[in-house]
Chains A and B, each alone.
Chain A
Amino acid sequence: MTMIRVTAYENPKSIEEATTFLAKDTYVPIAGGTDVILELRNGMPVKLLDINNLKLNHVTSNKDNIEIGAACTHTQLASNPIVSQFVPLVGIAAGKVGSKQIRNRGTIGGNIVNASPCADTIPALLIYDAELVLLSKKGRRIARLDEFITSPYATIKRNDELLHSIICKKNNKTGYSYLKLGRRQAVNISRMTISVALDIDDDNAVIDACISAGSVFPVPSRMKDLEKFLRGEKIKPKLFKEAGKLAVDLMIKHSGYRWSTPYKEPVLAGLIERALMQASKGIVQDN
C-alpha cells in the first residue's frame, strides 16, 4: 500500500545552500521524482532536498566537451541541438525513456544516480566517455561514469555529494546506432539496449568502435574486448556476425548464466549485428 512519509523538505536556491544541507543530514535529492517517489512507497521516513532551483538544466559546449546539467529533463535533451550534433546517442536514448510524462519530469542526473541496470541513458553516455561532476562542502571531484556504478542501484556517490553535471567528450564518428528491445511502445522498461558508434575510413576499415549495452551486464558497460576486436578490421557481414557471438561470450562471462540467458543470448548477437550494420552505413537509428 502507498504510504509516503516525508519528514523534511528543503528547497535550496543555491549550490552552497544545497551542499550545506547535505553535509548536515541525510537527504534524498529530488528533481523529477520519477524514481524517488516510487521508492518512497515502501514507507521509510525520508528527508527530501529539492534540486529544481539550482539552475542545473544547462547544456554547454566547448572545444572538446559537452556539459549537461544534472537536472536536464529527458524531453529537453531529446530536442537539444547541441546534444543532437555532438552526442546524438544521448539525445536518442533520452527520447526512449519511459513515456512522454516521465520524460517531461525525469532528469538525466536521476537516471544516472538511480543506477538501474536498465537505465536508458547510461549506455549512450558511456560511448562519450562521460565523467560526472560531484560537489560537496569538501569540494569538487570528478568520477568516471564507467567507475561510478558499483552494482545494480549502488554508486560511489557519498550522501553529502550532489551530482552537478555530466561531461561528455566529443567524438566525431562516421556512424551511430541505438537499439532498444522492450515489451511495448511506451512506459517501456528496457529489456536490452545497444549503443554503437563507429568510425570507418575510406577503405571501409574500422578505425574506432565504441559499443555499450544496457540490461545485459549487472551494470551498463562498454564492451571493450569487442571494440578491440573490431578495430582495424575490414567491414564485411561475417565480421558483424562474429562480433555478435563475441558479445554473447562477454555477457555470459560477466553476468553468468541466468533464466533469461537462453533468450537473450541469440537476441543480443542479433542486435549487435544489426546495430553495427546500421552504424556502418552512418545511420543514427531511432527504432
Chain B
Amino acid sequence: MSVVGKRVQRPESITRVKGGGLFADDSKYHGMLHAAVIRSPVARGIIQCINTESIIKKKGIEGVFTCKDIPGKNVIPVVIDDQPLLAERYVNYVGEPIAVVVAKDRETARTVAKNAKLKIKELPAILDILEARNHPDIHIFGDDNIFKHLKIRRGNPSSAFKKCDIILENIYRTPYQEHAYIEPHSVTAIPYPDGTIEVRGCMQCPFYVREAVTKSLNLPESKVRVIQSATGGAFGGKEDVPSLIACQAALPAMKLGKPVKLTYDRTEDMIAMSKRHPSWTYYKSGVTRDGILRAVEVEYIIDGGAYSTLSAVVLFRGTVHAVGPYRCPNVKVDSYAVATNKVPCGAFRGFGSPQVLFAAESQMDELANRLDMDPVEIRRRNLLRVGDETITGQKLKNSVGLEKSLDKVIQVSGWTPGGCKQDGVGYGFSTIFYGVGLGAGGKHMARTGARVIVHADGSVSFSVGTTELGQGMITVLSQIVADEIGVPLECVDMIPTDTSRVPDSGPTVASRATTMSGNALKDACTKIRNTLRSEASEMLGCSLDEIDFDNGLVSNKGDSIPLIEVIKSCSFKRLSLSAEGWHTSPPTTFDDKTGTGDVYVTYAWATNLAKVKVDRETGEINILKIWSAHDVGKAINPTLAEGQIEGGVLQGLGYAVMEDMKSDSRGAIINPEFSTYIIPTAQDQPEIVPLIVEEPYPDGPFGAKGFGEQPLMGIAPAVANAVFDAVRVRIRELPVTPEKVWQGLRNK
C-alpha cells in the first residue's frame, strides 16, 4: 500500500507535544565544562588588551581562549573568508566574539564573560547602508564596503520606458526579522583519546560545521564527526551560525581534553546571531495601457552587517526574484550587499527574496490601481506560463502552476473584482515564485548522498545528509523509502543526521531536502530493489521483468510471496541489502556580466490573498483571513505541506504587521527579548486556508519540488495591498503598523 501522497502523522509529533526529544542542551557528558563568550561592547574599535590572566585566576574558571589559541585558520568559512572565529585586532559590531571562557558551571562562565574587562579603543562606526556604500573613510570590507554587486541586463529598459503609458518610481524599506526559533543555539564538543572531535548540536548544516571545525582546529575531516541533535526550529538561523558556535566549543574541548557545552541564552542569541537583512529598494516599473509590463528597473540594497557570511548568495536569490513571477522583456537590476558595523545578517526563510518581493508586488498593485484595472487582471496579463522566459532568460519547460494557484485562490475565496465589502475591509493579492534548491548561486554543493539498509527482519534504516528542523523531513523521506522498498511505513527509521554516515551532502537550505535527499534515497532503494527482484525471480521461477512489488507482496502474474520472505532469503544467502544513493542536480548557470542563465532547476509558484479590516480611528490592522495556494509539484504528505503553509503565513504576518527589531546609535539591538520584540502568538493566527496545486516536476521524487520557504514570502505585500484596498493608504516600509496606517489616513 502506497504511503506517498498520504496524510500520515509525523512519528515525533506526540513526543514533542509531551515535551520529549533529546535537544542539544539536554545532554550531559562526564566531566563536561561550560563555555561562554566575551563579546565586543562597541560597534567598531581596536582591541588593545584582553586581560586573560586576571580571568583565569577567578574561582571555577578552567580556561580562557582568544584568537591566539586557534591552531588552524581563524575563520568561519561561508562564502568569503572574512569572518574570524574570535576577533583579532579589530571588532566590527556590538556582540562580536572576542574570547571564550570555560568554567565548571554555566553561571560562572556567563558571569565572568559578562564582567570581563576589555581595553578597546573605539573608532567611528557606520550603521546606515546608504552611507556605508562607497564611504570615503570608513572601510569595513574592501575599499567600498560592498560585499557583492550583482546585475541583470535584459533588453533595453531606457527606451522601453519611453513607450510606457504609466511609470511608477518608489522606494521600499524592510527591517530586520528575527528567526525566533523555539530553541536558542547550543552545541557540545566532545574530544576522544584518538584525537577525534565529536560535535553535537542544533543545526541545519552538519557539513558546514565539520568544515569550520576542521579548518579552525587544523584537523582532517576524518577526525571530526558532527551529529545533529533534535533541533527546535531553524528557518535559516541555523544555517551558517552553528559553525561559529561549534568552533567556540570545539577549541576549548580540544585544548582542555574535556567535553565543552556552549548554549546561548535568548537575549545573547537575539543580539549576536544572524537575522533577515534589512533592505532598501528603488523600484521603477512601466506598463502600457493594456496592463502589460514593459520595463522594470531595480536597485536593491541589503544590509549585510559586519561580515559577509551568506550575504552574497542571499543577494543572488533576491536579484533573480526582483521582478516577481512575470514576463518582462526589459530589465535592469543592480543589487548590492553592503557592510555596516552591525550584527552580520544571514539566511532566513525566503533568503533575500521577501524584501524585494514586497516591493515588486506592492508596485504591481499600484500599477493596477493607476490603470484602473483589478489586481488579478494585471497579474493574469503578465504572469509566467510554460514556454515563457524569466528575467534571466531561462525558458520554463514544465511545472509552472502559477495561474492554477491564482485560479484556485479565486475559486475558493469567491473573490470578485469590485465585490462589495464593509467599510475598512480590504483584499490584497500577491503572486510569487521561488527558485527551488541552491541554483547557480551554490551549484558546487548541489549533490547529496543517502544510505539505506534493509535488515533481515524487514525493518529499514536510512541515513541522509540533510536535517530535520521541524519541517517534517523524516516523515516525508520515510514515506519515500517505504514505497520504494515496498515495506509498511512503521518499518522505516531514519538515523539522526551524522557526517560520518554519508558523503558531504551540502546544506539543508533552499527548500532542497525533499527533492535532493528524496532522489538520493530513490537511487539507493533502486539498487536494493534490484537485489530483491533477482532473488524473487529465483524463488518464483520467473524472469526479472515479470516481478511486481505491491502491498508487502512480491508477485509474478500468478504466484506471490511475502516481501519479508524474499528479504529473509537474501539474508540467508548473505546478499547485501544495503546501498548508497547519490543525486546531483541538473546543471544551472548564471552569467555575472549580463545576469542571464538557467538559474534554478525549477520553480515553485504561489498566490496569496489577504483579507484585512482597518480601524480608521486607531489604524489597527485586523487580519481576517488568508488564502494561500502553492504549486509544490507533488505533496508527498499533504498535511505537512499544509502545515508549512500555515506556519509560513503566520511568520509572514509577523514580518508584515508586527516584528520591528531596532538598533540604537551604536548599532546594538534594543529589543532583544520576546517582551519587546513582538511576534505573532497562536491567538493572532487568522483563519488560514492552505491550498495545494500539483504541477509535477519531472526530475523530483514523485514529481515533488521544494517549497518550504515560499509560504512566508508573499504575505507582507498581500497585507500591504489589502490595507490599501481597505483605506487607500499605501505603506512602503515594513512593518505595516497602526501608527503608519493612521499617519497615512491623516495625510490624505
A contact set with B: CB distance below 8 Å: 1-3, 38, 43, 99, 181, 183-187, 189, 262-263, 266-267, 270-271, 274
- A-B pairs, top 3 by smallest CB distance, nearest first, are A270-B617, A186-B683, A185-B683
Complex interface: chain B residues within 8 A of A263 (CB): 619, 738-739, 742-743
Kindly list 8 other residue pairs between chains A and B, CB separation below 8 angstroms, not including A187-B674, A267-B618. A38-B675, A184-B680, A185-B683, A186-B684, A263-B619, A263-B742, A263-B743, A267-B738
Residue in chain A with minimal CB distance to B615 = A270
Nearest CB in chain A to that of B620: its residue: A181
A2 to B683 alpha-carbon distance, docked (Å): 28
Nearest residue (CB) in A for B739 is A263
CA–CA, A267 and B680, complex, Å: 23
Residue of B nearest to A98 (CB): B675
Given contacts A2-B265, A267-B742, A270-B618, is CB(A185)–CB(B684) below 8 Å? yes
**Residue B678 lies at the interface, judged by CB distance under 8 Å to chain A:** yes
Query: Is B111 interfacial (CB-CB < 8 Å)?
Result: yes
| Distance between Cα atoms of A184 and B617 in the complex (Å) | 17
Q: Give the distance to chain B from A57, nearest Cβ to Cβ, in Å.
A: 26
Interface centre among A181, A184, A270, by most B CB within 10 Å?
A184
Q: B678 touching A184 by the CB < 8 A rule? A: yes
- B113 to chain A: closest residue by CB: A1
Contacts of A38 in B (CB 8 A): 675
Q: Which of A187, A266, A274 contacts B681 (CB 8 A)?
A: A187
A1 and B110 contact, Cβ closer than 8 Å, known pairs A186-B681, A186-B682: yes
Residues of A near B267 (CB, < 8 A) are 1-2
Task: List the B side residues contacting A262 at CB < 8 Å.
Answer: 743
A266 contact from B675, B680, B684, B746, Cβ within 8 A: B746
Contact across chains for A184 and B658 when beta carbons are under 8 A apart: yes
Asked if A185 and B681 sit within 8 Å, CB to CB, the answer is yes
Decide: B681 and A3 in contact? CB cutoff 8 A: no
* Chain B, residue nearest A270 (CB): B617
List, sorted by A's number, 26 A–B pairs whose CB atoms are closer than 8 Å: A1-B110, A1-B114, A1-B265, A1-B267, A2-B265, A3-B107, A3-B114, A183-B658, A184-B678, A184-B681, A184-B683, A184-B684, A185-B681, A185-B683, A185-B684, A186-B682, A186-B683, A186-B684, A187-B674, A187-B675, A262-B743, A263-B619, A263-B739, A263-B743, A266-B746, A270-B617
- Distance of B182 from chain A, by nearest CB (Å): 15
Q: Which residues of B contact A183 (CB under 8 A)?
A: 658, 678
Instruction: Provide the bound-state CA to CA distance between A271 and B739, in Å.
Output: 15
Chain B neighbourhood of A99, CB < 8 A: 681, 683
Q: How large is the interface on B (under 10, 10 to 19, 20 to 34, 35 or more residues)?
A: 20 to 34
With A2-B265, A183-B658 as given contacts, are A267 and B743 in contact (CB-CB < 8 Å)?
Answer: no
* Chain A nearest CB, measured from B620 CB (Å): 7
Residues of A within 8 A of B107 (CB): 3
CB closest residue in chain B, given A263: B739
Asked whether, in the complex, the Cβ of B617 is within 8 Å of the Cβ of A266, the reply is: yes
Closest to B676 in A: A189
Closest to A4 in B: B107
B497-520: contact bitstring with A at CB < 8 Å (1 yes, 0 no)? 000000000000000000000000
Contacts of B684 in A (CB 8 A): 184-186
CB neighbours of B620 from chain A (8 A): 181
Contact with A along B521-555 (1 / 0, CB 8 A): 00000000000000000000000000000000000
Q: Which residues of B contact A187 (CB under 8 A)?
A: 674-675, 681
**Would you call B675 and A181 a contact (CB within 8 A)?**
no
Cβ distance A184 to chain B, nearest Cβ, rounded Å? 5
The answer to whether B681 and A267 touch across the interface, beta carbons within 8 angstroms, is: no
Instruction: Tell me how far the C-beta of A9 lies from the nearest C-beta in chain B, rounded to whole angstroms.
Output: 17
Q: What is the interface of chain B mostly: helix, strand, loop, or mixed?
A: helix
Q: Which residues of B contact A184 (CB under 8 A)?
A: 658, 678, 680-681, 683-684
- Chain B CB within 10 A, most for which of A43, A270, A271: A270
Tell me the bound Cα distance from A267 to B738 in angstroms. 10
B268 located at the interface, meaning its Cβ lies under 8 Å from any Cβ of chain A in the complex: yes
Task: For the complex, give the distance between the alpha carbons of A183 and B658 in Å.
Answer: 7
Q: Which of A2, A43, A189, A271 contacts B617 (CB 8 A)?
A: A271
User: B682: which A residues are within 8 A, CB to CB?
Assistant: 186
Q: Which residue of A lies closest to B654 (CB)?
A: A184
CA distance A179 to B75 in the complex (A): 54
User: Which residues of B from 670 to 725 have beta carbons under 8 Å from A?
Assistant: 674-675, 678, 680-684
B299-352: which have CB < 8 Å to A? Answer: none
A159 to chain B, nearest CB (A): 26
A244 to chain B, nearest CB (A): 10
Which residue on chain B has the smallest CB distance to residue A260? B739
Instruction: Give chain B interface residues in 79-110, CB to chain A under 8 Å.
Output: 107, 110
A189 and B738 CA atoms in complex are apart in Å by: 15
Measured in the bound complex, the distance between the Cα atoms of B620 and A99 in whole Å is 20
Q: In residues 260-276 of chain B, which contact A (Cβ within 8 Å)?
A: 265, 267-268
> What CA separation (Å) do A38 and B266 show in the bound complex?
13
In whole Å, how far is B94's beta carbon from the nearest beta carbon of chain A? 15
Query: Max chain A CB contacts within 10 Å: which of B618, B681, B742, B743?
Result: B618
The reply to whether B742 and A266 form a contact with Cβ atoms under 8 Å apart is: yes
Chain A neighbourhood of B739, CB < 8 A? 263
B405 CB → nearest A CB, Å: 29
B173 → A minimal CB distance (Å): 19
B678 touches A267 (CB 8 A): no
Which partner residue on chain A sits nearest B686 by CB separation? A185
Which residue of chain A is the closest to B618 with respect to CB atoms? A267
Chain A residues with CB under 8 Å of B680's CB are 184
* Contact flag A267-B265 (CB < 8 Å), given A3-B111, A184-B681, A186-B682: no
Cα A228 to Cα B190 in complex, Å, equals 73
B103 nearest CB across to chain A (Å): 13
- The docked-state distance in angstroms from the alpha carbon of A184 to that of B653 is 11
Minimum C-beta distance from B626 to chain A (A): 15
Q: Which residue of A lies closest to B271 (CB)?
A: A1
Asked if A189 meets B618 with Cβ closer than 8 Å, knowing A2-B265, A263-B739, A267-B742, the reply is no
CA distance A175 to B412 in the complex (A): 42
Given known A99-B681, A186-B681, contact A267–B617 (CB-CB < 8 A): yes
* Bound-complex Cα distance A185 to B619 (A): 15
Query: In the complex, what residues of B have CB within 8 A of residue A267's CB?
Result: 617-619, 738, 742
Asked if A181 and B618 make an inter-chain contact with CB atoms under 8 angstroms apart, the answer reads yes
**Residues 405-459 of B contacting A (Cβ, < 8 Å):** none
CB contacts (< 8 Å) of A189 on chain B: these are: 675
**Whole-angstrom CA separation of A266 from B744 in the bound complex:** 13
A3, B110: Cβ atoms under 8 Å? yes
B741 CB to closest chain A CB (Å) equals: 10
Report the nearest B residue to A192, measured CB to CB: B618
Instruction: Report the bound CA distance from A99 to B680 in whole Å.
Output: 12
Contacts of B678 in A (CB 8 A): 183-184
Question: Would you list which residues of chain B between 136 and 191 have a CB under 8 Å from chain A?
Answer: none
Contacts of B111 in A (CB 8 A): 3, 43
Q: How far is the CA of A189 from the CA of B617 in the complex (A)?
A: 20
Which chain A residues lie closer than 8 Å to B658 at the CB level? 183-184
Q: Roughly how many angstroms separate A96 CA and B543 CA in the complex, as a whole number?
A: 73
Give the distance in Å from the alpha carbon of A87 to the alpha carbon of B739 in the complex. 33
Q: How far is the CA of A274 from the CA of B617 in the complex (A)?
A: 10
Q: What residue of chain A has the Cβ atom nearest to residue B653's Cβ?
A: A184
Closest Cβ of chain B: how far from A126's Cβ, in Å? 23
A240 CB to nearest chain B CB (Å):
13
Residues of A within 8 A of B110 (CB): 1, 3
Q: Which residue of A lies closest to B36 (CB)?
A: A1
- CB pair B268–A1 under 8 Å, yes or no, is yes
Q: How many Å lie between the Cα of A3 and that of B683 in the bound state?
A: 31
List chain B residues, Cβ under 8 A from A2.
265, 267
Closest Cβ of chain A to B25, distance in Å, is 13
In the complex, what's the smallest C-beta–C-beta distance from A147 to chain B, in angstroms? Answer: 29
Complex Cα–Cα for A235 and B433 (A): 56
Report the separation of the CA atoms of residues A1 and B619 in the bound assembly, to the nearest whole angstrom.
36
Closest residue of chain B to A244 (Cβ to Cβ) is B617
Please judge, given known A-B contacts A1-B265, A3-B111, A184-B658, whether A271 and B618 are in contact too, CB under 8 Å. Answer: yes
- A181 closest partner in B (C-beta): B618
CB distance from A212 to the nearest CB of B (A): 19
**Would you give the shortest CB distance from B679 to chain A, in whole angstroms?**
8
